[in-house]
Structure 1
Amino acid sequence: MPSTKSLFSPASGNGPSEQGQVERQIALEYLAEAWNNAEEDGLESAALAHASLFAALATFVRMHGDDATAEMIAQLPDRIRSGEYNLERVLQ
């Protein structure tokens, strides 16, 4: 299997549970491969990001319902501002 760059590599391996972290990392590697393939086929990163967000939110709504998903999304601004989704941040 060819090696692909992962634009989703975490800044840190720390997470709520080791097994959950391993599973999320594997899932991110699958997504990174699909993302890279789509970009190689000419799709723009912004289109991929929008489609990914839609798919993720639709999955959360299906699994947890509208209200729980909305509550989770309401927490995102603070998490984004704190750098949780910044792949270049350095944890000390």
Structure 2
Amino acid sequence: MTTTSGTMHEREPVPEHEQKRVALGYLHEAWAEAKLDGIDGDCLAQACLFAALAEFVGTYGEEAAATFAEGLGARIRNGEFSLDQARQ
């Protein structure tokens, strides 16, 4: 079987920061759609956290996921997840 060089394109790897930006866009769209369907924001947040932590455990294992989660308190207090915060 032969292929012409014009039919098979190798894609450049997408930088991680770009993947995160696109992924966040998908999540914002899904979140907005769920809200339109009447799903409570708190329920969405808990479901997202569960899914995210389950992915971390599946990928890195329970101990690594727990270590990551232990650092979340300080990051929250430092404002990393505050969207409407005015930085000085």
| TM-score, normalised by the number of residues in structure 1 | 0.76
5+ unaligned residues in a row in structure 2: which ranges?
1-14
Segments ≥4 residues shifted beyond 3 Å: none
Residue 85 of structure 1: CA displacement? Answer: 0.6
- Superposed CA RMSD in Å reads 1.6
5+ unaligned residues in a row in structure 1: which ranges?
1-18
Q: Does 1:24 align with 2:20?
A: yes
Q: Percent identity?
A: 43
Q: 1:89 aligns with which of 70, 85, 88?
A: 85
1:70 is matched with: 66
Deviation digits for residues 35-89 of structure 1, max 9, x if unmatched? 1000000000000000000000000000000000000000011000000011112
- Whole-angstrom distance in 1 between the partners of 2:75 and 2:23: 21
- Whole-angstrom distance in 2 between the partners of 1:91 and 1:22: 24
Residue type of the alignment partner of 1:44: D
Residue type of the alignment partner of 1:25: R
Residue 20 of structure 1: CA displacement? Answer: 1.7
Q: How many residues align?
A: 75
| TM-score, normalised by the number of residues in structure 2 | 0.80
- Whole-angstrom distance in 1 between the partners of 2:63 and 2:43: 26
2:40 is matched with: 44
- Whole-angstrom distance in 1 between the partners of 2:20 and 2:43: 23
